[in-house]
Chains A and B, each alone.
Chain A
Amino acid sequence: MTAGSDVSRGPSTRKVGIIVGLVLFGIGVVVIADNVRLGAGWASDGPQAGYFPLRIGLLIAVCSVIVVVQAFRHKADETIFVAWAKLVPVGKILFPLILYIAAMQYLGLYVASTLFVGGLMRWLGRYSWSKTVLVPVIMSGIIFWLFEYQFTVPLPKGPLEQLFGY
């Protein structure tokens, strides 16, 4: 069955573990480097600003090396991190989310949220157009009422709100 083989194929947990370990090692090195620049030693008035973080950076680097070495030694571990086929639904929510946050800067939070929820309902849930319009508009209306009037916490607004004078 093709579906079965799709679910069983993907990057191995071991490989992803090694890559993440290397990234963490990189972070550790960055932390160390920046704190060496600041001065991680001992000044006349006690430990310098980089004293504590430098040691944290060292620990991150050392432990990430351990994680990577462990992953290299566990050759028998053949579990997959995530099947390629299952990455599709993750992408279906992740990419719209990125677009949504990007759109928020230009359209404001309310319009972007309406489009985001409506879009996903239509695309993933295959709802009728009437529901796809109604549900997100009501939701954004409630958020607007709550935040602008009840909590008086302003959220990002765009051209549409300006049109109405907000």
Chain B
Amino acid sequence: MRLLLNGFGIVLTWYNVGLMMIGIVIGVIVGVLPGLGGPNGVAILLPLTFSMQPTSAIILLSCIYWGALFGGAITSILFNIPGEAWSVATTFDGYPMAQQGRAGEALTSAFTGSFVGALAGVLLITFVAPIIANFALRFGPPEFFSVYLLTFCSFIGTGKEDKAKIIISICIGLALAAVGMDTISGQLRMTFGQNLLLRGFDFLVVVIGLFGIGEILITMEEGLAFKGKNPDMDLKVVLKTWAQLPRYWLTLIRSAVVGCWLGVTPGGAIAASFMGYGLAKKFSRDPAAFGKGAIEGVIAPETAAHAAGTSALLPMLTLGIPGSGTAAVLLGGLMIWGLQPGPLLFVEHPDFVWGLIASMYLGNIAGLIVVLSTVPLFAAILRIPFSIIAPMILVACAVGAYTVHGTMFDVWMMLVFGIVGYFFKKLDYPLAPLVLALVLGDRAEDAFRQTMLGSRGDLGVFWSNGLVGTITTLALVILVWPFVSRLVTRWRQRPGAVDSNS
């Protein structure tokens, strides 16, 4: 508690509050515009923070993240176009509400739901993160490798895409991470005599390409035209909506819990928003109203998405494992600022950790105020034709990619990954595991090789004590679970199965 108050002290300087506001506004813009998502927006701005204090830098970047989470709802409700994948479920009821002239009500409840979800996530981090970090201090290389394994396995086990495609996605990320100088032996790997590849592939360039350029190409193909409703936001609508919200406390709590759970495991905000919506519909007294403009149908996915987006930072801070794509980019940022993510962060840099946590509270309050008061402004941005916005976003991407290392090679790489992103997205290869694997690749490999060095190549070390054994076994169970359950259903459906039962 004392540490948290200390954190508030760090955040509440004019400089940091200013950064927070700037971050929120940029974040909302990033969330509203297609082609500039959370991970991409943070990646473009990350190089600019290299010279800043790490605490100020993370405040700025995490506020962009909160802003992007808020911003996704605006386009979903007013334009029926999800600005972010996690706000797809918000369109189901948000847009019908806007069509009925209840846009203000929908936006207010979406933002308030988001705020409640985020608050649940921050509370979870405040109270649980120190415990997990303390626990994880005992982790050695085998434990860390088994946690990485668990992360990758749960992507494969719980992902809705084709399993082979998820594995390819993760492996491409790991392979890209391996390019360049090997940290242990100093040998050059997969550089093929090219000096430009010595440094390897920077995840920032890959993220800007995959998410930024790829998204713009897809948007061009779909030929988006923004024709939407005008928001009718004023204080009266806000207060009136707030008066109704306590009625939905159960939906709020349910979605917050689902969101927190899916955020900590790498299921992420996207799965959380759909699950929150589904649960709200299932338990609602009036399920038929869903899809036609039920206020609960807006609150549920937004609360869950925000809770997930926020609590995704919990494993990132305590174990060094990002729970979402944007968290992965933030994690990469930590390493660039010279901070080692993981349990030691809480011991060695308490100012940073608690400053960040304090900024989550304040950032979300600031975010709520900013979005409630400036929705018409952001809606106006969307009315700018895509033929101006698209080239400007591409310029921003190019600038972002160039500033990572100051080389033109990175800009070309961004283009290559943009085209890769276009194909991957259209063929249902998931992109988030690729980014996660790219960020974690070197750490996972180091943990594996250090373990192997210690055990002289005996894989049994991953079951050498209760802790590491449990995590490894859990990882393998999650990995094979979908295959087993498919086999079981097939076995039950085989002809003759009924006979043997009777």
Interface residues of chain A, those whose CB is within 8 Å of chain B, are 13, 16-17, 20, 24, 27, 30-31, 34-35, 38, 42, 45-53, 56-57, 59-60, 63-64, 66-67, 70, 81-82, 86-87, 89-90, 92-94, 96-98, 100-101, 104-105, 109, 113, 116-117, 120-121, 124-125, 127, 135, 139, 143, 147, 151, 153-156
Contacts and interface: CB of A to CB of B under 8 A. Distances in A.
A90 B187 contact: no
Nearest to B222: A86
A90 B190 CA distance: 32
Contact of A90 (B168, B172, B221, B427): B221
The DSSP consensus for interface residues of chain A is helix
B216 A93 contact: yes
B174 A56 contact: yes
A45 B457 CA distance: 10
Contacts of A155: 399, 402-403
Given A46-B452, A100-B394, A27 B445 contact: no
A117 B388 contact: yes
Given A38-B187, A109-B399, A155-B399, 13 more contacts: A16-B423, A27-B172, A30-B190, A34-B192, A46-B452, A46-B456, A49-B187, A53-B178, A67-B165, A89-B220, A94-B419, A97-B394, A139-B392
B449 interface: yes
B448 interface: yes
Nearest to A125: B387
B449 A52 contact: yes
Contact of B402 (A57, A59, A67, A109): A109
A70 to B, nearest CB: 7
B221 A53 contact: no
B398 A109 contact: yes
Q: Which 3 A-B pairs have the closest CB atoms?
A: A125-B387, A124-B387, A46-B453
Given A47-B449, A60-B172, A90 B392 contact: no
Given A34-B189, A155-B399, A156-B402, A67 B415 contact: no
A45 B162 contact: no
Contact of A125 (B167, B182, B388): B388
Given A67-B165, A98-B415, A125 B395 contact: no
Chain B: number of interface residues, binned into ranges: 35 or more
Contact of B221 (A30, A87, A117, A154): A87
Contacts of B415: 97-98, 101
Contacts of A47: 448-449, 452-453, 457
B164 A90 contact: no
B130 interface: no
Nearest to A120: B391
Given A17-B427, A70-B164, A90 B217 contact: yes
Interface string B146-185: 0000000000000000101101100110110010001011
Given A60-B171, A154-B406, A155-B399, A86 B391 contact: no
Contact of B48 (A52, A90, A151): A151
A120 B390 contact: yes
A13 to B, nearest CB: 7
A81 B399 contact: no
A116 B392 CA distance: 9
A34 B178 CA distance: 12
A109 B396 CA distance: 11
A93 to B, nearest CB: 5
Contact of A116 (B51, B189, B395, B456): B395
B47 interface: yes
A50 B191 CA distance: 13
Interface string B434-451: 000000000001001100
Nearest to B457: A42
Contact of A143 (B223, B399, B445): B399
B398 A100 contact: yes
Contacts of A101: 398, 408, 411-412, 415
